[in-house]
Structure 1
């Protein structure tokens, strides 16, 4: 009978221990709440339909949703269970790290819209985590201590800081951008064989060049390009990243792991790149496959991990174009207009001062 079962259940219910502080019972309840959230998160992840092996995007979205749910559950537990907030913060941080890792691993295969959405979601969760951590920090008690130490007779205002002398130069580009490089040249042919350089495999910089031909054989760790106009640049292999800023009416032929382009206008890029090229604030830029050779380039590409053609030269992400349709800021170079493979084997190292 229902009443008998209820009575039996009541008899089996342990009597509360009134000798324990109420805070212990609350903490136990909080831990049960956390355990429940964890079970729900795992259940949601297990219940998610298995993605098709033919769709890497669907597989990514499924894994991303599970990690996002875990992070949101842990952040919710921080607010609802203050006594166990620190473990929840740690769990949220680990889940957000998983999100960042998932996005990094899948960035080469995601369409631009999904990539931007995933980056925005991870960024929002990271901001929420910082806010939760800030709310949990102990607040400093109000005190007049600093005020009492103030001198009774404050000193007079210091004299105004004098401006620098008129002839004091601004920081040079060489001081800002690292590594070897060519800077401040016009109408010059600039050739560097990085394989025989005393500082090979380091950073290299091209800055403030006008109407120059630049040939870099070998490989470098990173390439920094700043303020070029009417230049043609040929680079062997970059086993790190390339950052290109403020270029106009130029052509670049290079291979690299990552390429990011800011403020480029009417410029062509012939690339072999491991990840998707990223453009921002660009107009009239065009992309085509890698078209460079010289004696030993195969070995340089293998050493840099760039021997395979990924096809990413045509998968460009415009971070300032948020619509699902094609960005008007870039296109592919028509096949009939593309450069033929350029052989720079016979170009000798020099710096012309024309």
Structure 2
């Protein structure tokens, strides 16, 4: 060990003095002990940190595996023994869907301490479970062909839908992996152009909401909902209160999204701005020209809604984006942080006026 103070080193004359030599050796011993103590403290802190992270990961994996097995068992048992009454069958399937959403929420809440490969593996498992539920849903409740229009049914007028529905047949090339939760009975705004669309979730029990095939529309969603699906949006602005589960955006261009959620996945989105508050890192795939900024939405009661959804704290994850199509160590060119002087100010959707209240 080097000693920076040259005066502390003994000269040839000092070495002859036993007292000075003893003091010098004592000083070296103190410096050595101090260095060893700092080293041990540093190693102890590092060990505690690694141990804590490892313990949290182990607890997550155990809970995740138990939930996964339970959901797989429910799906398997449903094929052998399920309610025969349609309303009870749909309620049964909705319960399984809610369990999958809870599992997805668990991944989102745990993503900050999990390794990236573990997050991806867990999300893939959730996606597989969603697809399995979709297949089960198709087997137990046969679907009609893909249609955006209400059609009169001569054979079964009782089951005629009262609103436009999204029916997915095997011939339609919509990814089941991404739009895998049953959406055919999901309420939402669909097939609209040039409209202001308003929906207030306060007091409702809606679990999922869908925005489908919108062009040049402004959407205002007040209150909280469990899941939000968006597909085929062009030149739209979407202002949404907190989503307690996940948001999925697929195929959007020239849009502005202001949203808060526990998890968000963005696929095939181009030239759009996203103002987010999110518990886990946003995931993008096959995107380009997307820019991110912090959540900036306001309406009466928004703070309470955010608090109830456990989204009242800003995590900063809006700027921690994972591009699943960009595996290099350098920054992905497909997304960027929106410059402060180009960001929108706080948007109070209650003051925008106009609009048509949705169902």
Aligned-pair CA distance for 1:170: 2.9
Aligned-pair CA distance for 1:116: 3.1
Aligned-pair CA distance for 1:106: 4.8
Match of 1:192 in 2: 199
- 1:48-197 equivalences in 2 (<5 Å): 52=46, 60=53, 106-109=110-113, 114-116=115-117, 119=120, 170-172=146-148, 174-176=166-168, 177=183, 178-196=185-203
Unaligned runs of 5+ in 1: 1-48, 69-99, 125-167
1:214 aligns with 2:219: yes
Aligned-pair CA distance for 1:180: 1.5
Match of 1:230 in 2: 235
C-alpha root-mean-square deviation of aligned residues, in Å? 3.6
Q: How many residue pairs were aligned?
A: 225
User: Counterparts of 1:306 and 1:174 in 2: how far apart (Å)?
Assistant: 30
User: Counterparts of 1:346 and 1:251 in 2: how far apart (Å)?
Assistant: 18
Match of 2:132 in 1: none
Aligned-pair CA distance for 1:302: 1.1
Unaligned runs of 5+ in 2: 1-42, 62-103, 126-143, 149-164, 169-182
Match of 2:271 in 1: 266
Rg comparison, structure with higher value:
1
Contact 2:108-2:279 at 8 Å conserved across structures: no
Aligned-pair CA distance for 1:327: 0.9
Contact 2:260-2:278 at 8 Å conserved across structures: yes
* CA shift in 2, pair 1:206/1:122, >3 Å: closer
Q: TM-score, normalised by structure 1?
A: 0.55
Contact 2:258-2:295 at 8 Å conserved across structures: yes
Aligned-pair CA distance for 1:303: 1.2
Match of 1:292 in 2: 297
Contact 1:103-1:119 at 8 Å conserved across structures: no
Aligned-pair CA distance for 1:322: 1.0
